[in-house]
Amino acid sequence: MAILSRSRYPLYAWDSAYELQTATRLEGRYPEAILKYYLSGLGKLKANAPRKEYTRKAQVMKRVHRVLVDVLRDAPRWRDFAIKVKQDNIKRPAFQEELANAVPGWQALK
């Protein structure tokens, strides 16, 4: 846990397998700390980026969804967060497509 709390979410899949496996295993014991770790992987959500980056952020958002909804059982907190992200990026169709493909219920958010 100490290692994860001092580092940020990895930007590249090839160097992150161990850290992400560890974070997944710790979600139940330290959900708020792991949530903070996952949120660090989202970076600036209001910035334009290539689709590849949107795909990466969608996978991180999927982890955020899992922690908030399944582990913490705080669906209203997830909904508030997700709606803000969706509204802030409404004019980025590639971003919306990637999140709709990765995150359960993304298209239903309004």
**C-alpha neighbours within 13 Å on the C-beta side of residue 80:** 5
Q: Where are the domains of the chain?
A: 2-102
Look at phi and psi of residue 8 and say left if phi exceeds 0, alpha if psi is from -120 to 50, else beta: beta
Determine the Cα–Cα distance for residues 95 and 47; give it in Å rounded to an integer.
Answer: 10
pLDDT at 108: 93
Determine the Cα–Cα distance for residues 95 and 50; give it in Å rounded to an integer.
Answer: 9
The string over 84-105, giving b where at least 16 C-beta atoms fall within 10 Å of a residue's C-beta and e elsewhere, is ebbeebeebebbbbbbbebbee
pLDDT at 20: 86
Residues 6+ apart with CB under 8 A from 42: 9, 57, 60, 61, 64
Report mean pLDDT in 10-residue bins for the chain, 110 residues: 60 70 92 94 91 94 97 97 96 96 94
The number of residues making up the chain comes to 110
pLDDT at 101: 97
pLDDT at 10: 66
